[in-house]
């Protein structure tokens, strides 16, 4: 796995106004923490971070003052529209340590149960795994072509690369092939002269008005 390198700069000013000024300049405020060291506020190039995240990178080398620090993306905050990144958190790591992270599931094939009228639905799009930094897979490929009607795929049934282990409960459902749920409908038979429902409403109204006249007497 090739680890991308991002150039960073130290950030001294804090607060929402300072962060807004940085973003206007194409910079992204961030913070590095972990490994027993004090948190360090930094700035990164917005486009580089956006491109790195879109390519599914979890680990990056941060270059600061000639020093290289491997870090793991831990969190990314977005604006209220969920469109633009406004801040990222990175954790210092050792390339020889094991890390926990989510990787996308790559479903392949068409389940044979679809031919029997079933519909394939997945409850998970990512799988939480643990592995060495150098062994992080870009995705977990899962062949679902053999899934029959009413068959359920659990986490424990997904084969992982060597050195990679599951973090989620093994009995958690990943996907299933089931018949589509039928929607029960009660047919409405129109009455002569117009739809049945408006006449029922009118009839109820007349009865209420009739009761009102009786009460007046």
- Of 23 and 157, which is predicted with more confidence? 157
101 closest CA partner among 151, 66, 135: 135
CA–CA separation, 44 vs 27, rounded Å?
6
Q: pTM of the full predicted structure?
A: 0.64
Task: Kindly give, in sequence order, each residue whose CB lies less than 8 Å from that of residue 97, ignoring residues fewer than 6 positions away.
Answer: 132, 133
- pLDDT tens across 28-81, in order? 999 999 988 999 999 999 999 999 988 888 899 999 888 899 999 999 999 888
CA–CA separation, 83 vs 94, rounded Å?
31
- What domains appear along the chain, each with residue ranges and CATH number? 5-95 (2.40.240.10), 100-178 (2.170.120.20)
Q: How far is CA 198 from CA 70, 130, 162, 186, in A?
A: 70, 62, 68, 17
């Amino acid at each position: 796995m090739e680890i991308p390198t991002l150039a960073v700069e130290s950030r001294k000013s804090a607060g929402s106004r300072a962060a807004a000024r940085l973003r206007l300049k194409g910079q992204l405020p961030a913070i590095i923490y972990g490994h027993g060291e004090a948190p360090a506020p930094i700035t990164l190039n917005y486009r580089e971070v956006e491109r790195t995240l879109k390519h599914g990178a979890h680990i990056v080398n941060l270059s600061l003052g000639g020093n290289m620090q491997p870090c793991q993306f831990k969190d990314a905050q977005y604006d209220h529209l969920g469109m633009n990144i406004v801040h990222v958190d990175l954790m210092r790591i050792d390339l020889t340590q094991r890390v926990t992270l989510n990787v996308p599931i790559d479903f392949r094939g068409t389940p044979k149960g679809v031919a029997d009228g079933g519909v394939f639905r997945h409850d998970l799009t990512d799988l939480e795994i643990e592995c060495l930094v150098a062994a992080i897979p870009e995705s977990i490929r899962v062949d679902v072509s053999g899934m029959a009607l009413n068959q359920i795929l659990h986490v424990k049934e997904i084969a992982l690369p060597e050195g990679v282990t599951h973090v989620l409960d093994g009995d958690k459902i990943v996907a299933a092939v089931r018949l589509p749920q039928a929607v029960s409908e009660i047919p409405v038979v129109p009455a002569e002269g117009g739809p049945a429902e408006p006449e029922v409403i009118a009839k109820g109204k007349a009865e209420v008005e009739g009761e009102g006249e009786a009460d007046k007497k």
